[in-house]
Amino acid sequence: MEYSELFRYEDGKLFWKVSPSRKVRAGDSAGSMGKDYMRVGYKGSTAIFIHKIVWELHHGPVPYGMRIDHINRDKLDNRIENLRLATAAQNSHNSRQAGGSSKYKGVYKAGWDENKWFAKMAFGGKQMYFGTYSTEEAAARAINKAYLEYHGEYANLNEFEKEIKNA
């Protein structure tokens, strides 16, 4: 059965066009919270991510090897304008995670000097370093520039992105 026969899309949410069970009626909101994402199941099928259904309702099947990326990194924001195709690597570049001993993604405390910070990231299977800095914020600015250079529109920048984009 096609998704368009089961669901109606409205502003990032899905609603049932049919009654999938005795407890759920046509017109009810579809989906429930899984571990990380909203999901929906139908007649004993494996639960499907709502963002995948929304994408496919608008654009057709997700190409082999591609993922659906939430542009604003909010896994519950399934508005079509917040979704885009991405490779697994591009999707991971747009993650929220900070790493190491810093509050910033890509910034780490230098083990050889407690007053220094360095910027690094992995790209193409290799670790890349972008300098050592006297402040955590300076290292965050440096890694933001590297993220923009290497990851483009998929870069998840630290809080200084306005300064970097306008530089």
pLDDT one digit per residue (tens) for the chain, 167 residues = 689 999 999 999 999 999 888 888 999 999 888 878 888 987 777 888 999 999 999 999 999 999 998 888 788 899 999 999 988 877 776 665 655 567 888 888 887 877 888 888 877 778 889 889 999 889 889 988 988 888 888 787 887 544 445 44
For position 23, which CATH number holds? Answer: 3.90.75.20
d(CA 52, CA 55): 5
- Dist CA 12 CA 146 (whole Å): 32
Specify if 70 maps to a domain. Answer: yes
Query: Do 144 and 70 sit in the same domain of this protein?
Result: no
What's the DSSP call for residue 152? G
68 and 10 co-located in one domain: yes
Domain with 45 in it: 3-86
37 in Cβ contact with 50 (< 8 Å)? yes
77 and 103 assigned to the same domain:
no
**Pick from 132, 3, 86, 27: which is nearest to 94 by CA?**
86
Between β-strands 7-10 and 13-16, what pairing exists: parallel, antiparallel or unpaired?
antiparallel
- Residues 155, 102 within the same domain: yes
**Which residues, 6+ apart, have CB-to-CB distance to 30 below 8 Å?**
6, 7, 13, 14, 15, 16, 20, 40, 50
CB atoms within 10 A of CB 12: 18
User: How crowded is residue 20: how many other Cβ atoms within 10 Å of its Cβ?
Assistant: 17
Residue 91 belongs to some domain of the structure: no
39 with 70, same domain: the answer is yes
Q: Domain holding 119: CATH number?
A: 3.30.730.10
Tens-place pLDDT, residues 99-145: 556 788 888 888 787 788 888 887 777 888 988 999 988 988 998 89
Q: Which of 55, 86, 117 is the last residue of a domain?
A: 86
Answer whether 0.85 is exceeded by the pTM: no
CA-closest candidate to residue 20, choices 37, 44, 48, 49: 44
Examine the domain organization and report whether 67 and 101 are in the same domain: no
The pLDDT value given to residue 75: 85
Residue positions counted in the chain: 167
The reply to whether 50 and 16 lie within a common domain is yes
Residue 11 and residue 59 share a domain: yes
The tally of domains found in the chain comes to: 2
